[in-house]
Amino acid sequence: MQAYRFALDLSPVQERAVFTHAGAARLAYNWALARVRAVLDQRAAERSYGVPDELLTPAIGWSLPALRRAWNAAKDVVAPWWRQVSKEAFNTGLDALARALRNWSGSRSGKRAGRPVGFPRFKSRRRAVPSVRFTTGAIRVEPDRKHVVLPRLGRLKLHESARKLARRLDAGTARIMSATVRRDGVRWQVAFTVEVDRTERAPARPDSVVGVDVGIRHLAVLSTGELIDNPRHLAAARRRMRQLGRALSRKTGPDRRTGRRPSRRWQQASARLGRVHARVANLRRDGLHKLTTRLARQHGTVVVEDLNVAGMLRNRRLARHIADAGFAEIRRQLAYKAGWNGGRLLVADRWYPSSKTCSGCGAVKTKLALHERQYTCQVCGLVIDRDHNAALNLAALAAAATTAGSGPVAARGADQKTRLRGQVAVKREPGTATADKTGTVPPQGGTTNRALTTAH
């Protein structure tokens, strides 16, 4: 499955139609959520009065088919105009609620990993992102490759050519499964989810191993010695954002307490600020895609670290710079692009001391302060940039994982304590070619904190 996203060039009439579909999706979501909350509150109140479980108000299903049946029974009363929009609009809202309830239930019962997920909340017309998803009906790319056709919305013009997707469709190597129209900032986007018959590829250098150490001063330092500059798009646009933010604060904005609607000048100022934020996001996304594509196409094995990005963002001095760099996005893109190009991605354990280990002799330092940008080994006398040293250790970890043997290895994850002698787990991302293995590391001691060691 692969997504192709294109910017739309909508006329005022088409934009109103898309807003209507997005509003229908939000209406179905809020109606179903209100129904679910009412039943839950009623059952909780009945339990507080001592009503036995068999006499409680009947529960309603949270699955998409159950919510859809309830909506079809009530849509003539709730939305008498439902025939004016596609049925996929209401299905979009009901599907979003079904997934949100499933995530909340799984998080509450412990079946869902990750951060706790709260109970779904109602969507606001002004704060929610307008979006609608089409899974059935006429969904195609026009022969001129500058227009797409969607159910009930008709023929929509694109800002750019859809030739990459059209070539696959014409060759029969792709099939459109769904199309999602979404407003990203101040521009409408259409994203096609496509089932692709991808041919097998091989990297330009299949035997090449590269370690990638991400940071703030340099976006990435490769084990080959290459330094990837950090463009710092957010820092470059902050002055303009401050100017637009001050101008926006002087306008008459919305007030939910009094029901005041925003003025037209406030809407225009908000759109200008949104365009700046969207430009920063697009520039960051473009740079990360170019970097990860080059690494995946050139090297057969790419090694990165399993960084605790959520923990790193708690550092108030570095949070903005870490978020601007996009550490997690680099790893996410490398995970699937390595599989697309016939390579593999190895992820070093979170507590692997790549910055504290000497790439020359393997000695491990007990402590390494953040301000020490040069790594000086007290055993062999090696003096090297700390980020380049970490990248070399990551590349060596891939060689250790390859030579660990073809049979099963007793792998275990490292913890915050570095041991005298031990093994560091190497995690395999989906789509890689080899099974999980572990690599033996040199003697170690002391503690390490990868959440801050790689911050600079």
Positions annotated as catalytic residues are: 213, 305, 387
Return the C-alpha torsion angle 261, 266, 268, 269, nearest 10: -150
- Rounded to 5°, angle at Cα 152 from 147 and 156: 15
Q: Is 13 exposed, middle or buried (0-12, 13-18, 19+ CB in 10 A)?
A: exposed
CB 120 within 8 A of CB 97: yes
Q: What is the DSSP string of 246-268?
A: HHHHTS---BTTTTBPPPHHHHH
Q: What is the DSSP letter of 63?
A: S
* Coil, helix or strand at residue 186: coil
CA separation for the pair 21, 18 (Å, rounded)? 5
Beta strands 344-348 and 299-305, pairing class: parallel
Contact of 180 with 361, CB cutoff 8 Å:
no
**C-alpha–C-alpha distance, residues 310 and 431, integer Å:** 25
Structure tokens that stand for 410 in this block: 């007793």
Helices (H), 315-449: 319-325, 327-340, 386-402
